[in-house]
């Protein structure tokens, strides 16, 4: 129930105003978001890379409804990638892109998002790095996979994301587990009807394990996005079973969540990529993070209530 309430709140303008104007709210958000400007996320990226971690950067913003805004976000990614290239971070730092931020919801959204994504992918190649297409609401899955297929004709290194809570997740993973295919597997952080998605934690976890088995046994490059200790242990066992070397797959975790575990896996020789968001549109992202991990709710509320 708490998860559903938080996901509903992510679309509430009233709750958004309360959270965004609450005392110390922004200082709390900095636990999960690198900052509002590119300089902030570049500084965070430098620190993480120095610690032996990999990075994927997300410029926050989604559900764009104006072409000019989609173009501005595309340009922001191009400039960010130029700065990553100047710093020599590629390929240790890549970018994650939401297609709704690039215009997927416009009247001619699929074409617009594809054109803008091509620009981002071209900039990434110039920077010696890659792009991963974030998966969003279940209603966008088919469109996102069509755009991915088109992009991979010219940019085969483009990463995909599959959400384990979707009932067709295992099928999607099987379709994408081919040579050179980069696939991030996550649990999923959006509302969806029972006909489309598993809703219970156990069912989602079981789906995640089934998808991991497919990806780890396949010929692609699995990117396992989870903070769950049990799933991380299973991932390690599957790597041994399928004779995958440490550079044949990677773990992915969110910035600000389980940093000690990120370092531990790195020290054991694993590849760990940290998902680092930045930008002013942090509200929706924050609410989904709280929905994913109820323990974060207490932290956030205690921080908002503090006075110093």
> How far does Cα 22 stand from its chain's mean position?
26
Among the listed residues 3, 92, 182, 184, the single catalytic one is: 184
- Residue 75's CB is within 10 A of a number of other CB atoms, namely 14
Beta bridge partners of 160: 183
The CA distance from 64 to 104, in Å, is 8
Beta bridge partners of 65: none
> How far does Cα 294 stand from its chain's mean position?
19
Sequence-ordered list of residues with C-beta below 8 angstroms from that of 168, at least 6 positions apart, any chain:
none
Q: Are 78 and 123 in contact (CB under 8 A)?
A: yes
| HSE, side-chain direction, 13 A CA sphere, residue 138 | 19
The CA distance from 65 to 100, in Å, is 9
What phi and psi, each to the nearest 5 degrees, are found at residue 162? -120, 135
134 is catalytic: yes
The helix or strand, by DSSP H or E, that contains position 285, with its residue range, turns out to be helix 283-292
Q: Are 136 and 94 in contact (CB under 8 A)?
A: no
The C-alpha angle with vertex 22 and arms to 20 and 28, in degrees rounded to 5, equals: 80
Among the listed residues 3, 134, 152, 289, the single catalytic one is: 134
Order of strands, sheet of 272-278, starting from the edge strand that comes earlier in the sequence: 131-134, 93-98, 54-59, 272-278, 250-254, 221-225, 182-186, 160-163
Cα end-to-end distance, the chain, whole Å:
33
| HSE, side-chain direction, 13 A CA sphere, residue 215 | 34
The catalytic site residues sit at 134, 184
């Amino acid at each position: 129930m708490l998860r559903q309430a938080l996901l509903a709140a992510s679309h509430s303008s009233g709750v958004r105003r309360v959270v965004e104007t609450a005392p110390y709210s922004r200082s709390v958000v900095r636990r999960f978001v690198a900052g509002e400007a590119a300089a902030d996320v570049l500084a965070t990226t430098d620190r993480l890379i120095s610690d032996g971690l990999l990075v994927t950067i997300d410029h926050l913003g989604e559900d764009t409804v104006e072409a000019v805004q989609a173009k501005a976000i595309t340009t922001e990614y191009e400039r960010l990638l130029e700065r990553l290239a100047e710093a020599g971070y590629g390929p240790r730092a890549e970018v994650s892109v939401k297609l709704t931020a690039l215009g997927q919801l416009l009247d001619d959204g699929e074409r617009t998002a594809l054109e803008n994504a091509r620009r981002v992918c071209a900039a990434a190649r110039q920077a010696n790095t890659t792009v991963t297409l974030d998966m969003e609401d279940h209603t966008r899955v088919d469109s996102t996979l069509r755009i991915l297929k088109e992009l991979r004709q010219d940019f085969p290194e483009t990463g995909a994301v599959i959400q384990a809570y979707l009932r067709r997740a295992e099928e999607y993973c099987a379709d994408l587990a081919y040579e050179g295919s980069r696939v991030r597997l996550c649990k999923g952080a959006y509302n969806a009807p029972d006909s489309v998605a598993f809703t219970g934690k156990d069912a989602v976890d079981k789906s995640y394990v089934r998808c991991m088995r497919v990806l780890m046994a396949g010929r692609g490059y699995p990117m396992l996005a989870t903070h769950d200790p049990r799933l991380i242990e299973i991932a390690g066992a599957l790597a041994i079973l399928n004779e995958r070397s440490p550079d044949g797959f990677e773990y992915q975790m969110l910035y600000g969540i389980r940093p000690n575990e990120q370092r531990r896996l790195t020290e054991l020789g694993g590849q760990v990529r940290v998902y680092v968001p930045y930008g002013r549109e942090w509200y929706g992202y924050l609410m989904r993070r709280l929905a994913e991990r109820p323990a974060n709710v207490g932290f956030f509320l205690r921080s908002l209530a503090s006075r110093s």
